[in-house]
Amino acid sequence: MNINIRRMEKTDVEEVVRLEALSYGEHHWSKESFYNELSNNLAHYYCATNDENILLGYAGCWHIFDEAHITTLSVHPDFRKQGVAQKLMFSIIDDCYKNKIKYITLEVRESNIAAISLYEKNGFKSIGTRKNYYQDNNENALIMFTENIWYEKFKTLYNNLRNRSNQN
């Protein structure tokens, strides 16, 4: 399956919100939240589609000075474990390099083992916990952070991931 990554547009919001509800139930972002994000100069949002232009997933982050904060990343349940999340991560990291970002951070549910594994594979480390972070069930969030993405250690990890991905 070909996975195409492009910038999210306002015309994507209806479908993104459907996927958001599928992924997160009743505690999901609203259409207005996504429209606001797309109007925010700090925000960078992406859609993953296949060759039939079916939405496979989406992701977003904010660029604040030399740091990027991943705000969301979701993949349709029918397309998980097929490389969609990794392609979205590549887009975020590539954009960080283009914009001279040094660090990437995020919060993730402690119970979201699949997401934690993805982030760890991409060089994120847990640096703490936000207690009762999620409003729907008061679940804690892990705070995850990369080292400086310009450091050779991170660049080597990233390039190795890229090379393995291109071989598949």
- 120/12 Cα distance (integer angstroms): 29
Instruction: Please confirm, yes or no, whether 107 is among the known catalytic residues.
Output: yes
Strand order of the β-sheet with 141-145 is 4-7, 43-49, 55-64, 67-75, 103-109, 141-145, 125-130
Q: Which of 46, 58, 119, 158 is catalytic?
A: 119
Instruction: Please confirm, yes or no, whether 147 is among the known catalytic residues.
Output: no
The alpha carbon dihedral of 147, 75, 2, 38 has a sign of negative
Q: Which of 15, 107, 139, 147 is catalytic?
A: 107
Provide the 3-class DSSP secondary structure of residue 100.
Answer: coil
Beta strand pairing call for 67-75 and 103-109: parallel
Catalytically active residues are 107, 119
